[in-house]
Amino acid sequence: MTGPARASVKFYRDLFRYNHQVIENFLRKLEHLPKKAAERDRGIGHLSLARTLLHVVRVHDAWLNYIVRGNFAGLHESHERFARLRTVKDARAYFGQSWKGIDRFLGELTPSELRRSARAPWMPGRYTVEDVLVQCTLEQAHHVGEMIGAFWQQDIVPPQMMFIPLRTGKRVSVA
């Protein structure tokens, strides 16, 4: 993002509170499904609902706890730990551990930090921390869409993920 379209630090903190709540809502939903239903291959990007949600958390963890901090050695080690995760229980533990660092990062975020360059080892070019925040959010949205489709295919109502109701705490019916 460049020029006057830049968002504020407050906006990104609000957006990531929303991202956090969506992940929490999907985790709770998966924790209430039978284990086999949450971990079965559904033919979506990361196969199961559990594995797809793990991937969403991994995206946030990798970018915000390692890449923007320039900790590529830690990124490699965390990737090896992540590769062994499969279950909803794994997702819950990983989410709790990862999000502590993300909250710390967001708490320290400043306007100049948003403009700072970042670089991922697998992605060419340079981009800003603000670009990374947008990347994480859009990646989450893409995979949440996959999961919503998988829920509907099984006649299961997906968890709440609408931005305005989650941000305001107001319940809405979309039926």
Question: Which residues lie across from 47 on neighbouring strands?
Answer: 44
Q: What is the pLDDT of residue 135?
A: 97
Other Cβ atoms within 10 Å of 157 Cβ, number: 11
pLDDT of residue 25 exceeding 70, the answer is yes
Alpha carbon 115 to chain centroid, angstroms = 21
Q: What percent of the chain lies above the pLDDT cut of 70?
A: 95
Give the residue extent of every domain in the chain. Answer: 7-168
Within 33-162, where are the H helices? 35-39, 49-61, 72-82, 88-108, 111-115, 129-153
Average pLDDT over residues 95-113: 96
Q: Token match 């039978």: residue?
A: 34
Both tokens assigned to 19 = 């991202």
pLDDT of residue 175 exceeding 60, the answer is no
pLDDT confidence tier of residue 5, bands split at 50, 70 and 90: low
pLDDT confidence tier of residue 4, bands split at 50, 70 and 90: very low
Per-residue pLDDT tens for 122-173? 999 989 999 999 999 999 999 999 999 999 999 999 998 888 887 787 777 6
pLDDT of residue 3 exceeding 70, the answer is no
Per-residue pLDDT tens for 29-47? 999 999 999 999 999 989 9
pTM of the model: 0.90
Buried b (16+ CB within 10 A) or exposed e, 29-59: bbeebeeebbbbebebebebbbbbbbbbbbb
Q: Which region among 17-26, 78-87, 99-108 has the lowest average model confidence (pLDDT)?
A: 78-87
Per-residue pLDDT tens for 43-74? 998 999 999 999 999 999 999 999 999 999 99
Q: Write the CA distances from 94 to 2, 23, 65, 80, 81, integer angstroms.
A: 33, 12, 13, 13, 10
Domain 7-168 grouped into CATH 1.20.120.450: yes
Q: Write the CA distances from 56 to 29, 76, 94, 138, integer angstroms.
A: 15, 17, 11, 10
Q: What is the pLDDT of residue 108?
A: 97
